[in-house]
Amino acid sequence: MNDDLPALAARIDRTNELLTRMLAEVAKTPSTHAIFVDAGYLYAAAGRLVAGTEDRRAFDLDAEGLIEALIDRARSIFADSRLLRVYWYDGARRRIHTSEQQSIAELPDVKVRLGNLNANNQQKGVDSLIRTDLESLARHRAISDAALLGGDEDLVSAVEAAQGYGARVHLWGIEAPEGRNQAEPLLWEVDSQRTLDLDFFKPYVSRRIAPAYEGPGANRPTREAVRFVGAQVAAKWLAARGRESLAELLPGHPYLPGSVDQDLLVEAEGILQYSLRGQADLRRALRDGFWEHVQTQY
């Protein structure tokens, strides 16, 4: 028995030597981080903070400049880590890129993932896309740290999945003018929290200057002209969203979802170069024209 002790000690020494080598190799392996951006949260929170509105149509976002700023911020936080890429999650009708989303997708080190948008302009499927990417990258040891810019409670499962494979998840938020714009369960779950303030976003968000429409007293369009424009906007709306979107509209006839009605108004005013605010008869004619075209397509 005592004769076996030297052999056992030799095997233990050999094992310790191998472990030391492995740890040395791991130490040489650079850490890798990725940035995950929920664009819906970004536009709403940054728009409210800088431009005073969550309506994307009311402000411009310099996405390229902002992404570069996010990369720089991550570089300062994860000093000994390399960037894998930036993941940009947004919604689009029928998951077809808008021109803005396409330009973002063409940026270096940026991957755009698209969920869907329903008739009320609500994102669908974005949270599951974030979870899929976070979990997959963590499982394959492609990242050690994830910077997540978002606030929805539905992201908790994505955070848990990534942490289950050993990745650390760092939640980045946008300063809220009042209260909070991130769910508490999400704040509790992450490894660290960081808030980006007004000064960070100011260079990249600018409020659009509304076109000067003529007042109600000048060159008032006829009801028929407004009805025709309503049909024009409906044709454009259907072309962008597809006939399947009709199923969401028709049960509400003669009323339109608030977001659709607002889009209709803004689009029509742009075509007419005339304000329809406070003119109930022309607003009715506009909706009538919209509905007449929609119903011919069903």
The per-residue pLDDT string of the chain (298 residues; one tens digit each, 9 = 90 and over) reads 556 777 777 777 788 777 777 655 545 557 999 999 999 999 999 999 999 988 888 888 999 999 999 999 999 999 999 999 999 999 887 788 888 888 899 999 999 999 887 766 677 778 999 999 999 999 999 999 999 999 999 999 999 999 999 999 999 999 998 889 999 999 999 999 999 999 999 999 988 765 555 555 557 899 999 999 989 988 888 888 777 777 777 777 777 777 788 788 888 888 888 888 778 788 889 999 898 988 887 6
Q: Are 120 and 259 in contact (CB under 8 A)?
A: yes
Local structure of 194: helix, strand or coil: strand
CA distance from start to end of the chain = 89
- Sign of the dihedral defined by the CA atoms of residues 58, 64, 66, 70, in that order: positive
Domains of the chain in start order, with CATH, are: 29-207 (3.40.50.1010), 223-296 (no CATH)
* Buried/exposed 201-226: b ≥16 CB within 10 Å, e otherwise: beebbeeeeeeeeeeeeeeebeeebb
In this structure, the chain runs to a length of 298
Tokens (6 digits) for 280? 């109930």
Question: Would you give the DSSP letter of residue 125?
Answer: S
Give the integer Cα–Cα distance in Å for 271 and 169: 47
